[in-house]
Amino acid sequence: MNRESGFAELLAPHVGGEVADRLVLYAELLERWAGKHSLVSFVDRKELVERHILEALAAEPCLGRTGRLLDVGSGAGLPGVPLLAARPEWGGVFLEPRQKRWAFLRLVIRELGLKARADRTRYQELPPGESWDLLTIRAVGGYDELLPWARARLAPGGEVLLWTTDEEERGLRGDARWRVLSSPLPGLDRGRLIRLQPCFT
């Protein structure tokens, strides 16, 4: 998978080797599909890499050596695809009810060789029985309903990751059910990466 493009140069300072190859291929697929299917908004390749792919990778240090990830409302695969591309030992499921985006995710899984599947469903309709080390949620909203559902799906020691705003972070800090850890997203003044860890006392 040795490809040369502007994406390779943009990613080079941040990732290398096979991870970079997978992310370049993902960026190329996004660029090819985005215009036709309204997958994700960006004005140029730099914005696609910095605002979307690198923003997703901000959560990579939260992933242990191996585990299972559930990406809720996956859309174009952000943040789940970059995270599984960077951590191929991890498996995952992308939840996406819209047909064109679900079809895109299936293509990405196949082309990048990810240990993942795409389920064409809303999170409320996901059958019970599976638990997850990490739930990732970006640009979904509706936390009053979503977070209690997510908490019940976590494996022991699992946590929820949110890509959200400063204002939403302040609201989450008032919820005694969660320990809230927060950090700024890289290179941007517009958001926070929030780690939610269940409290049991």
Q: Indicate if the pLDDT at residue 194 is higher than 90.
A: yes
Report pLDDT digits (tens) over 58-75.
999 999 999 999 999 999
Picking from 131, 126, 28, 19, the residue whose alpha carbon sits closest to that of residue 83 is 19
Within a domain: 186: yes
Rounded to an integer, the average pLDDT of 136-151 is 89
Chain-centroid distance, C-alpha 94: 9
How many structural domains does the chain have?
1
Rounded to an integer, the average pLDDT of 14-22 is 95
Of residues 189 and 199, more confidence is placed in: 199
Question: Contact, 77 vs 53, CB < 8 A?
Answer: no
CATH number, domain at 111?
Answer: 3.40.50.150
Report pLDDT digits (tens) over 84-111.
999 999 999 999 999 999 999 999 999 9
Quick one: tokens of 197? 């860890």
Within a domain: 31: no
Within a domain: 12: no
Within a domain: 90: yes
Helix, coil or strand: residue 184: strand
Q: What is the pLDDT of residue 56?
A: 95
Within a domain: 81: yes
Within a domain: 36: no
Within a domain: 91: yes
Picking from 33, 62, 45, 48, the residue whose alpha carbon sits closest to that of residue 6 is 45
Within a domain: 128: yes
pTM reported for the whole predicted model? 0.92
Question: Contact, 53 vs 26, CB < 8 A?
Answer: yes
Q: Indicate if the pLDDT at residue 193 is higher than 90.
A: yes
In the chain, % helix, strand, coil (3-state, to 5) comes to 40, 25, 35
Taking the C-alpha atoms of residue 24 and residue 53, their distance in angstroms, rounded to an integer, is 10
Burial of 175 (0-12, 13-18, 19+ CB in 10 A): middle
Give me the chain's average pLDDT, please: 91
Domain interval for residue 120: 56-198
Quick one: tokens of 132? 């997850």
Question: Contact, 185 vs 192, CB < 8 A?
Answer: yes
Question: Contact, 62 vs 87, CB < 8 A?
Answer: no
Q: What is the pLDDT of residue 4?
A: 41
pLDDT band at 186 (very low <50, low <70, confident <90, very high): confident
Report pLDDT digits (tens) over 145-157.
999 999 999 999 9
In this structure, of 5-19, 47-61, 114-128, 162-176, the range with the lowest mean pLDDT score is: 162-176
pLDDT band at 39 (very low <50, low <70, confident <90, very high): confident
